[in-house]
Amino acid sequence: MHSPKQNHVQPSMFQYIDMEDLVPEHHILRRVKDVIDFSAVHDWVKPLYSEKTGRPSTNAELVVRLIVLEYLFNHSERELFETFPMHAGYLWFCGLDFESSLPDRTTLVKTRALWRRHGIFDDTMMQVVNQCIASGLVRPDVHAGVDGTQVRANASIHSLEEIELAPVQTIEDQSDQLQENTSHEDFHGKTFSNQTHRSTTDPDARLYKKSKGQEAHPRYLVHNLAAVRFQHPQTHIQTLSGDKTYGTPAYLAYLISQGIIPLVSLRNHELEEIPTWQRKTHNPEQQRKRQEKADEVRTKNQAKQVQIDGKYQDIQNKRVQCEHGFAEAKTVHGLDRANSRGLDCMQEQALCTAIVQNLKKLSRFKGKRPRTGVSACAETKNRDERNHDNHFISFIFKRIREKFGSLYASLVDEKL
């Protein structure tokens, strides 16, 4: 029987809804909520606020869960707060319901800026990694692999200007300069490099290109450290795999000094002779340069000897699994382009992307343990001990300029 047309449906004045019943049993939000524990964030942020003055701060754990939702589903802040009030799954994930009061979007913006300055996102990353270790997903006795990718900065190529500009002498010169800045300059036939030019929109970004023949754009370098599970247990991280861009003498020397065997794909596997000089010098600066040259050759020979022996070839072949994490981060979680501007904001985006990737892996692992794969980081040290190995195992994504410093200064040819 055909039902008659209903022009108006009178809604019930009172509706009793169980938020738990609105989330499907196998939904990713339910799996992720079962594996995370961010209660420790209250202790981390407590010193940042006054106990007696000021308005009460927003629940710190609620802020973390909002950030997880933002990166898990690749929402912008504005899009997240437009969708949040009408999404039952989002409300349930944050421990709220349809009648709960929601924080303002500007509160989240200011809170994130405060947390960036005090390393709260680094602590959150460590908390997630420690949970992965406690569950058995990550073991500290495995081999590790490292890889990097370029992330397009939120800046145009037309924002490049010379670092040292001639001072403006007259008002007419200043007016002409303002007109030039508002127009797009023709870059054909001109040469730019990181030594001579900076982006006025994002000064922290640098000019990089993937390979020869491609255009250079303002970008950031994001590095990913992955613990590759292997069938032979080790007492500690013995090897670190990387491609040929990690074959700089400074990087290899650092790994060897830490007792790590570098599995780096070097361009040439022929052993070099230790340089000797016929004339002895008493110049301290020249002696230092000679010693550095000899040490570089010894370091390269050690790395080449590992390649020649082929003992860790099977482990080194698994390094390509690190690229899978970058592919997921760029296609699913928005790491293909910087959301904001500045090195600190890029660091936050990289860390938060790693957090949600680890949470997804941890939720799948607890449901069904995978036979092979990668985890995003392998860190076992507590907060006080992590500075010892912070060059490559403290966090999944490093601040390249601040953390790695000169180790990666020679990885990319800055003259374009």
pLDDT at 396: 32
**C-alpha dihedral, 248 to 254 to 259 to 265, nearest 10°:** -10
* pLDDT tens sequence across 115-130: 999 999 999 998 888 8
Rounded to an integer, the average pLDDT of 18-22 is 86
- Torsion 321-322-326-328 (CA) sign: positive
The pTM of the full predicted model, rounded to 2 decimals, is 0.73
Rounded to an integer, the average pLDDT of 201-207 is 89
Which pLDDT band holds residue 173 (cuts at 50, 70, 90)? low
Which pLDDT band holds residue 234 (cuts at 50, 70, 90)? very low
Rounded to an integer, the average pLDDT of 13-41 is 86
Which pLDDT band holds residue 411 (cuts at 50, 70, 90)? very low
Better-scored residue on pLDDT, 168 or 267: 267
In contact, 87 and 316? CB cutoff 8 Å: no
Comparing 101-105, 286-290, 316-320, 360-364, the range with the smallest average pLDDT is 316-320
* pLDDT tens sequence across 247-285: 888 888 888 887 888 888 777 778 888 888 888 888 889
Comparing 7-11, 74-78, 352-356, the range with the smallest average pLDDT is 7-11
pLDDT at 172: 56
Residue 389 confidence (pLDDT) above 50: no
Residue 398 confidence (pLDDT) above 70: no
Residue 50 confidence (pLDDT) above 80: yes
Q: Where are the domains of the chain?
A: 19-118, 139-154+216-408
Comparing 139-143, 148-152, 267-271, 320-324, the range with the smallest average pLDDT is 139-143
pLDDT at 416: 35
Rounded to an integer, the average pLDDT of 369-391 is 42
pLDDT at 267: 74
pLDDT at 410: 31
Rounded to an integer, the average pLDDT of 276-301 is 86
Residue 359 confidence (pLDDT) above 90: yes
Rounded to an integer, the average pLDDT of 157-164 is 81
* pLDDT tens sequence across 62-86: 999 999 999 999 999 999 999 999 9
pLDDT at 174: 53
Task: Write down the mean pLDDT value for the chain.
Answer: 77
Comparing 134-138, 156-160, 215-219, 330-334, the range with the smallest average pLDDT is 134-138
Comparing 131-145, 280-294, 334-348, the range with the smallest average pLDDT is 131-145
Better-scored residue on pLDDT, 204 or 385: 204
